[in-house]
């Protein structure tokens, strides 16, 4: 499949934004309510980052539309379409999200109940939106690499993992990272890494059951070879669905994605926990020490690069059944 | 609405039956389709970008492949027209987020409403047959309409109320009719010739059927003649003057 940059940006940016939202809600649940009159500026700034990521991603996702001005129509078919469900949930999630932020910032302890209820609804909506994104791909029987039960779970886990690394980096920059927060993010990064490895194994070992013979119905007469193509230049079908990255490059890029998205962040986060163990309690004056900030920032940088490579590969490695008509022997 | 319509008993299922035995790959169906639908009310225009340049690009609703099938002496050329199969349970309809892609309850034709399509291309991903092509100039998806603006068109003579591709086919390889009616000519053809579905395992239940190439009847399949040609008795001269003349010429030239 053609890896469209707008879709890669949308799924990675909005995914991380929704993951960050879920983590911020979790932090609000665990943390104390702000004192009356005190405005939690860093918490608000973190929500602003999540909001920008989610909104920029959603806006970018309309960039590949032929008629972006008609995008509102996509809210109508939630009964059958995962794309429509994604759109509906994305918009609905903004309501409890704004309520959560307003209540958390404005009402202090008196709005605690509202903050938590709205926060739970916002976090739930965020993860459900990402689940729908995954299901758009997972529900297509025409693309074997996507029609796998792990696709949507991995989308949600990677959203939580990338958002978690982002949240942890923010905490580290303000000297507020705690070992258990880092531990939770480590668990999520490791879990998403393990599932992604398992997914790659499944995709590689699952039989490619569709053949050119089955697609044309001519397999009963023997091997089916292209004699004459139906058109001299690539048409829409070939441009959109004929793109498959060379296997040799895919192997290298998979290793790169695994290194950047899982191995490097895990190493950096382990180092982060290590620095906290050494310098606990955190450096009293002059903010956090350099080591935790560097470790968390490196983890974030690797994660950002890694998730982009992972998402590019998700599209570029996927082979569509229609390629069988154009000379692929199996799909 | 992208929910599929409930299939009624004796549901009308308009579609095509394509004979891979008689198709000669002349592209007449593809070009007549492009011509009719470029100006047609249901899907036009089908604008080509750079039509006479190095990289012409534009939607066609019908594409004709040619395949070489089998090995050695028994291999054969099969021409293979490919267009929308107007499936009974098409995911291209149910994945559509706007309701622009729909299946008609009355005859099963799958259409795109160009007024509400947002051009997200998800329907083309859901189609295993490559039946949908995106129109970059119109920003909407295009597909076979089964010439819905011909088959019910009372301005046309009754014999012309057929899809353009069917009218254009010079070998009669394309048949149009109601595949939901077991007594229709197309249904009988499918039964007699063993018509088959493309990629039935995907589960969309295509309405269009393909008729397989017939068994070959040539030197590779013919039963050996009881008397081989070189064993046949040579013809005996009958002694007419013209034959004596040729015998004399033959002897003269054979020296």
In this prediction the ipTM stands at 0.92
CB B82 within 8 A of CB B63: yes
Q: CB contact, 8 Å: A80 with chain B? A: yes
pLDDT higher than 50, residue A292: yes
Give me the pLDDT at residue A285, please: 47
Give me the pLDDT at residue B229, please: 57
The chain B residue lying nearest A76, using CA atoms, is B98
Provide the β-strand partners of residue B133: B142
Provide the β-strand partners of residue B76: B69
A positions 199-228 inside 8 Å of B (CB): 209-210, 214-218, 220-228
Structure-derived torsion over alpha carbons of residues A56, A60, A61, A67, reported in degrees to the nearest 10 = 130
pLDDT higher than 80, residue A32: no
Mutate to test the interface with B, among A6, A60, A64, A67 (most CBs of B within 10 A): A67
The chain B residue lying nearest A238, using CA atoms, is B130
Summary mean pLDDT of chain B: 92
Quote the tokens at residue A280.
């606990």
* pLDDT tens digits along B68-89: 999 988 899 999 999 999 999 9
Mean pLDDT of B221-242: 68
pLDDT higher than 60, residue B42: yes
- Which pLDDT band holds residue B190 (cuts at 50, 70, 90)? very high
Contacts of A233 in chain B (CB under 8 A): 55-57
Give the integer Cα–Cα distance in Å for B103 and B8.
13
- Could you give the 3-state DSSP secondary structure of residue A225? strand
> Any idea how long chain B is?
255
Contacts of B1 in chain A (CB under 8 A): 77
SS (H, E, C) chain B: CCCCCCCCCCCCCEEEEEECCCCCCCCHHHHHHHHHHHHCCCCCCCCCECCCCCCCECCCCEEEEEEEECCHHHCEEEEEEEECCCCCCCHHHHCCCCCCEEECCCCCCEEECCCCCCCCCHHHHHCCCCCCEEECCCCEEECCCCCHHHHCCCCCCHHHCCCHHHHHCCCCCEEEEECCCCCCHHHHHHHHHCCECCCHHHCCCCCCEEECCCCCCCCCCCCCCCCCHHHCCCCCCCCCHHHHHHHHHHHHHHC
The answer to whether the Cβ–Cβ distance between B95 and A236 falls below 8 Å is no
Q: What percent of chain B has pLDDT over 90?
A: 77
Higher local confidence (pLDDT), A11 or A209: A11
pLDDT higher than 90, residue B172: yes
The answer to whether the Cβ–Cβ distance between A227 and B127 falls below 8 Å is no
Give me the pLDDT at residue A284, please: 47
């Amino acid at each position: 499949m053609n890896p469209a940059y707008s879709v890669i940006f949308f799924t990675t940016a909005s995914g991380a934004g929704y993951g960050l939202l879920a983590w911020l809600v979790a932090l609000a649940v665990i943390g104390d309510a702000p004192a009356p009159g005190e405005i939690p500026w860093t918490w608000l700034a973190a929500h602003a980052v999540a909001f920008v990521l989610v909104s920029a991603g959603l806006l970018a996702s309309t960039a590949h539309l032929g008629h972006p001005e008609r995008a509102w129509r996509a809210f109508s078919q939630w009964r059958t379409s995962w794309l429509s469900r994604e759109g509906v949930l994305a918009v609905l999630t903004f309501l409890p999200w704004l309520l959560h932020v307003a209540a958390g910032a404005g009402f202090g302890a008196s709005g605690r109940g509202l903050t938590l209820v709205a926060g739970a609804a916002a976090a739930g909506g965020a993860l459900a939106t990402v689940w729908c994104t995954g299901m758009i791909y997972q529900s297509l029987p025409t693309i074997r690499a996507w029609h796998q039960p792990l696709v949507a779970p991995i989308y949600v886990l990677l959203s939580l993992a990338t958002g978690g690394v982002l949240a942890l980096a923010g905490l580290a920059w303000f000297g507020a990272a705690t070992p258990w927060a880092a531990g939770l993010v480590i668990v999520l990064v490791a879990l998403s890494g393990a599932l992604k490895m398992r997914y790659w194994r499944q995709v590689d070992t699952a039989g490619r059951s569709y053949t050119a013979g089955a697609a044309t119905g001519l397999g009963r007469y023997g091997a089916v070879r292209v004699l004459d193509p139906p058109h001299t230049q690539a048409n829409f079908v070939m441009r959109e669905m004929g793109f498959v990255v060379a296997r040799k490059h895919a192997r290298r890029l998979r290793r790169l994605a695994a290194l950047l998205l899982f191995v490097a962040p895990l190493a950096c986060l382990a180092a982060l926990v290590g620095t906290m163990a050494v310098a606990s309690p955190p450096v009293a004056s002059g903010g956090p020490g350099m080591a935790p900030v560097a470790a968390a920032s490196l983890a974030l940088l690797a994660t950002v690069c890694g998730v982009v490579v992972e998402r590019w590969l998700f599209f570029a490695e996927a082979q569509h059944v229609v390629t069988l008509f154009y000379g692929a022997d199996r799909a | 609405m992208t929910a599929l319509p409930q299939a009624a008993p004796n549901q009308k299922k308009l579609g095509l039956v394509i004979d891979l035995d008689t198709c000669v790959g002349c592209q007449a169906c593809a070009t007549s389709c492009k011509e009719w639908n470029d100006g047609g009310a249901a899907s036009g225009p089908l604008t080509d970008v750079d039509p006479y340049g190095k990289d012409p690009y534009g939607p066609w609703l019908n594409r004709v492949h040619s395949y070489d099938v089998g090995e050695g002496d028994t291999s054969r050329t099969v021409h293979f027209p490919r267009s929308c199969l107007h499936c009974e349970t098409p995911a291209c309809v149910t994945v559509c987020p706007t309701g622009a892609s729909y299946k008609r309850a009355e005859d099963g034709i799958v259409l795109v409403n160009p007024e509400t399509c947002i051009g997200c291309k998800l329907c083309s991903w859901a189609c295993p047959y490559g039946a949908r092509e995106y129109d970059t100039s119109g920003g909407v998806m295009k597909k076979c309409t089964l010439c819905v603006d011909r088959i019910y068109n009372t301005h046309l003579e009754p014999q012309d109320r057929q899809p353009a591709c069917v009218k254009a086919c010079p070998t009669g390889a394309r048949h149009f009719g109601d595949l939901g009616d077991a007594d229709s000519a197309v249904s009988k053809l499918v039964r007699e010739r063993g018509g088959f579905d493309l990629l039935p395992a995907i589960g969309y239940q295509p309405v269009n059927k393909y008729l397989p190439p017939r068994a070959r009847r040539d030197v590779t399949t013919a039963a050996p003649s009881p008397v081989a040609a070189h064993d046949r008795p040579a013809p005996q001269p009958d002694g007419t003057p013209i034959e004596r003349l040729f015998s004399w010429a033959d002897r003269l030239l054979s020296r």
